[in-house]
């Protein structure tokens, strides 16, 4: 299976969130890790949030975290989330 560029960014972002445990990961950190424009990654994360795969928190201490344990998130869910929104 070959992922689109958007799919690759989504998978890598969720892996980064999984590696952080329960901590909130700032969007700037996700952008820096992947060398992707902030607005593009923000659109990807919005799709993941709407699909119930990620949570977002606003404010100075804001960022993203997983909505549920990584072991419960499948690649199929990620691909579907990106194609639905």
Phi/psi region, residue 21 (left: phi>0; alpha: psi -120 to 50; beta: rest), is left
> What's the total number of domains in the chain?
1
Per-residue pLDDT averaged across 35-53, rounded? 89
| Range(s) of the domain holding residue 40 | 5-84
CATH assignment of the domain containing 71: 1.10.10.10
Nearest to 7 by CA among 38, 50, 40, 56: 40
Position 53 scores a pLDDT of 96
8 A C-beta contact, residue 77 and residue 42: no
Q: Cβ(62)–Cβ(24) under 8 Å?
A: yes
pTM of the predicted model as reported, rounded to 2 decimal places: 0.87
Indicate the DSSP class of residue 66: E
For 58-72, the pLDDT digits (tens) are 998 899 999 999 999
């Amino acid at each position: 299976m070959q992922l689109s560029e958007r799919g690759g960014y989504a998978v890598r972002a969720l892996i980064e969130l999984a590696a952080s445990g329960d901590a909130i990961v700032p969007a700037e950190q996700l952008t820096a890790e992947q060398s992707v424009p902030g607005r593009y990654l923000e659109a990807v994360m919005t799709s993941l949030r709407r699909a119930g795969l990620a949570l977002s928190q606003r404010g100075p201490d804001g960022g993203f975290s997983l909505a549920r344990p990584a072991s419960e998130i499948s690649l199929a869910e990620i691909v579907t989330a990106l194609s639905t929104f």
